[in-house]
Structure 1
Amino acid sequence: MAVLFIKFFDVIPVRFNLWIMLFTSCWIIYMLRVNMSLNLIAMVPRPPKNNTIQSQCEPTDDVTNATLRHVDITDVREAPRQVPGETFDWSADQQALILGSYFWSYPVTSLVGGMAAERWGPRYVVLISTAVSGILTALSPVAATINNIALVVVRFLLGLAGGFIYPALHVLVARWAPPAEKGKFVSAMMGGTLGTVVTWSLAGPLIEKFGWASAFYVPAAITFLWCFLWWYLVADAPNEHPRISDTERKYILDALGDKIQKSKGLPPFRSIITSVPFLAMVLIHYGNLWGLYFIMTVGPKFVSSVLGFELSAAGVISALPYLARMFFAAIFGVIGDCILARNLMTTTTIRKFFCLFSHILPGLLLVLLVYAGCSTALSVSLITMSMGFNGAATLTNLQNHQDLAPNYAGTLYGIANFVGSTAGFFTPMITAYFTKNGNSFEQWRPVFFIGASVYVVSALFFILFGNGNIQEWNFPKEITSESKDDKEKNGDLKDMKASAMKNGDVKDTKETSLNVSS
């Protein structure tokens, strides 16, 4: 059976297999990241309910919003439950420490993950990082029985391993995705969205039937199975894959041309950090993550404390924003590829135009949310559409680093993700500052205005200063000089210049000789 299963993948185009593995990689890493938030419900007894806190929009009767308010996780947690396994008397601060420890280390390895993948290859960086994450997840029940600090250490190490994944995946996309298909490949990065929803759905039944430890062991077992498939199906580059057809290999390599060159040297950090297009990319990525964290944390808190509806724990309703983002991302990815394939817009125009959907519209919807009043249905719709339109990020900030320097795509994404991760710290602080004296609409209004402003301002800056052209510092200097000498000797440099200019890969004639020489 296993042999037939493996042979099934061999008859599928390698690029499709790669898309599946990219999607499921994000699914796996999010599964191991978010399972703790639900597992803690079973691991720690529920404290007595506090009935003194009421929202501004308490329903006047049992019929109001009945279709949306019927499933609240707080009600489930307070119901009598018989969950197998030991429980722990951890305070709220100790639980927050456990949940937060993952994100202490995650930005650090996100910063270096791209460089590691560029140097040693994304295949093994992702494989080792994911396997280590699976082992740490399997050790979590043992760590919990020791004490909460042991579990904090495990989660901290899990964050260290997880930080390598996304930058390394972007390196893989740079080496495999033809320009006409890059939108579809980047949309695979939304696999983590579905991973969150499925994990929460899977963990509940497992905990009730087999105890909370099973909600660690089963994801770990799935991870190990996935690691075998990754090892078998994925290679660092098309010319290294043992089972790819000659036709498919030639198609990918011809489409990529001379944009990708392997180098063991360090990235040109001075050129990178002084590049205005790169800084514009970092800013729009920061705006994207600010909006994403904002909706994930502040949005549910708003409809909980102001509207009296716990969005983040209402079954299918809580999944709608995440599913909408994944669905819209796939649609926008296909649209972008079609536009590029038909030469309807340049790469730069595509990146800037779709900022309207990825950043500006989501920001405006956040402003409307605070004026929605006590309409729960309208509030849920606005949050869902705001995150849904943000799926267009697959055509803006989630692709732009690939445009600027495919040789260093992982490094650029790692730097941008490192900076953007700070949004996860600032959004709760700003919310706490403005709502410290209450949860009225007036007190929440500045919170949403700030969130919308970050969305919109970052998009406007990118529209003014962003770029979709490959930068000259993409090409390693040692490769550039060697290739230039060879091509001049062979008389091919002029032809390469013309080809690059025709394909729009360089910014002007003066830069062409340097760019195409690699």
Structure 2
Amino acid sequence: MDKKPSTSKGSIFCSLRYGLALIMHFSNFTMITQRVSLSIAMIAMVNGTQQHDLLNASTEGPFVDTLNNPIKKVNAGGMAWTGQFTIWAKWAPPLERSKLTSIAGSGSAFGSFIILCVGGLISQALGWPFIFYIFGSIGCICCLLWFTVIYDDPMHHPCISVREKEHITSSLAQQSSSPRRSVPIKSMVRCLPLWAIFIGFFSHFWLCTIIITYLPTYIRSVLHVNIRDSGVLSSLPFIAASSCTILGGQLADFLLSRNLLRLIDVRKLFSSLGLFLPSLCAVALPFVASSYLTTIILLILIPGTSNLCDSGFIINTLDVAPRYASFLMGISRGFGLIAGIISSTTTGFLISQDSVSGWRNVFFLSAAINVLGLVFYLIFGKAEIQGWAKERPLTRL
């Protein structure tokens, strides 16, 4: 009986928490567009000079500079992205977590789509500085909205309705709300459900980094097409990723709200879809290289289906340890960053030896890592709050 109010109170889209999700969506949009803007502007700045060939060797696409420079990537958006999970731990009812986090997280993929579509056009029509002027101004607006609208928890927000506040607090009543103590590092290290999440991140980022980083290289070398000639084509994987993120979140919470699946079943279902489907597409790529259209479809499907993981292990830390969600998301992103570094280096080495067999080995290895990560998560993944993350009464004697 306590669960029914959680689904009926606090009407859906006309609510403050969905407004917060939209602000975070555009914040993530801003972070990714500002990162990619730098790479596009660099191309424009050196365009027409003798250094253009050198640029091609180091920045095959707008994302390459960001992904090949891990320090920049972490400093630019890592803390902001992980900090959002601290907010959702206090703002997102359990039956709406997938929806809210997917709306917020889809801003990154949507931002990639927009900047790849219009970045080059802005540079040609107005000049490369206007890329920074336009998207920097959007960032300032998002920053202003963040400071005025985002609060740590619903209890202290001046604009939230009583109905919505009661809905959120009652749905989160079982979660701990006491002041944090020291982080239980030893318990975390021994926690297999956490390791399942970390390994899931490692597997997910391994293939995604390869696709994002080497997408233009693959199309140019295998299909003999320069993807820079079509900004829309290079952005299609990211609009697919954004759409799948939102749709996956809606479907996940639908399954939960209708009691069709348990929480752990939903997490494992979307983790399976987000790791196994991209693996199938990757394995199929070497066998359809002669077909331009089929190759493009598979390259679009890989990041699209990969983002179904957003409703799986990616938000699983909010289930197993909501008190430490931000800290654990930082560690998870660290595993993803390590995977990205290793996968990029490995891919570069393999394709430098032999292009045809190199690409085949890259995709087979990526699929194997995805499947192994999925198996580990299916065995050890959990969705209930772990003992070390629960409320413990203070006792002094």
TM-score computed with the length of structure 1 as normaliser: 0.69
Give, in angstroms, the shift of residue 286 of structure 1: 1.1
Determine the structure 2 residue equivalent to 1:391.
307
Say yes or no: does 1:457 pair with 2:367. no
SS at match of 1:424: helix
SS at match of 2:151: coil
SS at match of 1:370: helix
Indicate if the aligned counterparts of 1:186 and 1:398 stay in contact, CA closer than 8 A.
no
Give, in angstroms, the shift of residue 273 of structure 1: 1.6
Give, in angstroms, the shift of residue 299 of structure 1: 3.7
Determine the structure 2 residue equivalent to 1:296.
212
Whole-angstrom distance in 1 between the partners of 2:69 and 2:303: 24
Larger deviation: 367-376 or 348-357? 348-357
What is the percent sequence identity of the aligned residues? 27
Indicate if the aligned counterparts of 1:329 and 1:391 stay in contact, CA closer than 8 A.
yes
Q: 2:91 aligns with which of 176, 180, 197?
A: 176
Question: Which residue identity lines up with residue 280 of structure 2 in the other structure?
Answer: L
Question: Which residue identity lines up with residue 221 of structure 1 in the other structure?
Answer: S
Map 1:22-33; keep pairs closer than 5 Å: 22-33=24-35
- 1 or 2 for the larger relative contact order (CA 8 Å, sep ≥6)? 2
Indicate if the aligned counterparts of 1:336 and 1:350 stay in contact, CA closer than 8 A.
yes
Gaps of at least 5 residues in structure 2 are 1-12
Indicate if the aligned counterparts of 1:327 and 1:391 stay in contact, CA closer than 8 A.
no
RMSD over aligned Cα, in angstroms?
A: 2.7
Gaps of at least 5 residues in structure 1 are 1-10, 50-76, 79-88, 108-159, 486-518
Map 1:126-205; keep pairs closer than 5 Å: 160-188=75-103, 189-205=105-121
Give, in angstroms, the shift of residue 209 of structure 1: 3.4
1:465–1:98 distance in 2 versus 1, CA, 3 Å: closer
Indicate if the aligned counterparts of 1:366 and 1:386 stay in contact, CA closer than 8 A.
yes
Q: 1:282 aligns with which of 185, 198, 208?
A: 198
Give, in angstroms, the shift of residue 307 of structure 1: 1.6
Whole-angstrom distance in 1 between the partners of 2:152 and 2:18: 15
Determine the structure 1 residue equivalent to 2:326.
410
1:384–1:257 distance in 2 versus 1, CA, 3 Å: same
SS at match of 1:165: helix
Map 1:270-349; keep pairs closer than 5 Å: 270-311=186-227, 314-349=230-265
1:167–1:445 distance in 2 versus 1, CA, 3 Å: same
Larger deviation: 374-383 or 259-268? 259-268
Question: Which residue identity lines up with residue 127 of structure 2 in the other structure?
Answer: G
Whole-angstrom distance in 2 between the partners of 1:248 and 1:204: 43
Larger radius of gyration: 1
Indicate if the aligned counterparts of 1:175 and 1:260 stay in contact, CA closer than 8 A.
no
Larger deviation: 198-207 or 215-224? 198-207
SS at match of 2:316: helix
Indicate if the aligned counterparts of 1:324 and 1:388 stay in contact, CA closer than 8 A.
yes
Indicate if the aligned counterparts of 1:177 and 1:185 stay in contact, CA closer than 8 A.
yes
1:99–1:353 distance in 2 versus 1, CA, 3 Å: closer
Indicate if the aligned counterparts of 2:116 and 2:231 stay in contact, CA closer than 8 A.
no
Say yes or no: does 1:104 pair with 2:71. yes
SS at match of 1:263: coil
Whole-angstrom distance in 1 between the partners of 2:271 and 2:133: 41
SS at match of 1:211: coil
Q: 1:20 aligns with which of 22, 41, 50?
A: 22
